[in-house]
Amino acid sequence: MRKRLFGRTGLEVTELGLGTWGLSGDGYGPVAEAEIDRVLSRAVELGVTLFDTADVYGDGAMERRLGAIVPSYARIVTKLGTDLAQTPPRKRFDAAYVREAFERSQERLGRDRVEVVLLHNPSAAALATGEGPGALKELKDAGRIRAWGVAAGSAAVARAAIEQGAGLVEIAYNAFCAKDLHAIANVVSTNGVAVLARSVLAHGLLAGHWSAEREFQPGDHRAERWTHADLARRIAQLDALRPLVTGSVSSLRAAALRFVLSNDLVTSAILGPRSVAQLEQLVREAGSGPPYLRDTALAELASRLRSAGVAL
């Protein structure tokens, strides 16, 4: 399992990380508990050293599972800032809440120090108060976390966090959603910020298995993500990626994953398998190493995507 520098921490982490939202059952429907444990254990066996979670995934259950299964040398990234005790749940990034949420996460993870803590999708206005970042800086200064950052929903939020000293950003990045990372490329590079790329397969879209008539089951967030027209348009745009499927690039899924890994700004591509079979397939399709895709192929892809109406 190949590794990359983890921003300014001086550490290295695997370029493939394991995300746990899909395993939690919150986004795509339930996963059998035994299969959750098998996926986590198999990721460890394959050499994965970065695991991404949040305090709200499975209402804390995923943190407990990671604490029980993942060895101490692995880096766990968790996220805070959603108050489930409120009805309806709401975002909270005041210092008192962030400290309380951290204490609960640390207890569930069972670690003396939590490697990385992110604010979970704050707004730019929430960051501007300085409370959430300030609380995480204090925890870092006290040695209770190694690094802090944000899971950002936009380039503006990521940039605001970096300006306040965040050492890591987690941001959506894939062949159909690259503009936010492109917009912050300079500030990421200048400040030595680690980047976790989430949604690398666009919630399954880039695997190329769906028809325009695809229906999603209740409890699957994708049922609300795209209208039928949006989904049909996106599926048509997949034609821009098909020329990449050649030689060792055996599928659209492999092409999409290697697109993410080809970007040197990306520290780790966060995978979201819901079974051991899916995990092993993704690891195989990441390929044997750089170059993941030829520079000429990437340049030609950019041209095709623009022609297909994908904003870069």
Read off the pLDDT of residues 245-254 as tens digits, 9 standing for 90 and up. 999 999 999 9
% of residues, the chain, pLDDT over 90 = 94
- Asked if residues 51 and 43 have their Cβ atoms less than 8 Å apart, the reply is yes
Q: In this structure, which CATH number among 3.20.20.100, 3.40.190.10, 3.40.50.12640, 3.20.20.20 belongs to the domain 3-204+259-291?
A: 3.20.20.100
State residue 222's pLDDT score: 94
Question: pLDDT-derived band of residue 288, with 50, 70 and 90 as boundaries?
Answer: confident
- The pair of three-digit structure tokens given for residue 299, joined into one six-digit string: 């340049």
Question: pLDDT-derived band of residue 169, with 50, 70 and 90 as boundaries?
Answer: very high
- The pair of three-digit structure tokens given for residue 184, joined into one six-digit string: 């912050």
Give the bridge partners for 6, in sequence order.
none
pTM of the shown model = 0.96
Mean pLDDT of all residues in 32-53 = 98
State residue 191's pLDDT score: 97
Query: Does the pLDDT value for residue 218 go beyond 90?
Result: no
State residue 289's pLDDT score: 84
State residue 231's pLDDT score: 95
Query: In the predicted model, what is the mean pLDDT of the chain?
Result: 96
- Check residue 70 and report its DSSP letter: S
State residue 211's pLDDT score: 93
On the 0-12 / 13-18 / 19+ scale of CB atoms within 10 A, 95 is: middle
State residue 40's pLDDT score: 98
Query: Does the pLDDT value for residue 202 go beyond 90?
Result: yes
pLDDT tens digits, one per residue of 94-142: 999 999 999 999 999 999 999 999 999 999 999 999 999 999 999 999 9
pLDDT tens digits, one per residue of 49-97: 999 999 999 999 999 999 999 999 999 999 999 999 988 999 999 999 9
State residue 312's pLDDT score: 82
State residue 311's pLDDT score: 86
Query: Does the pLDDT value for residue 275 go beyond 90?
Result: yes
Mean pLDDT of all residues in 190-207 = 97
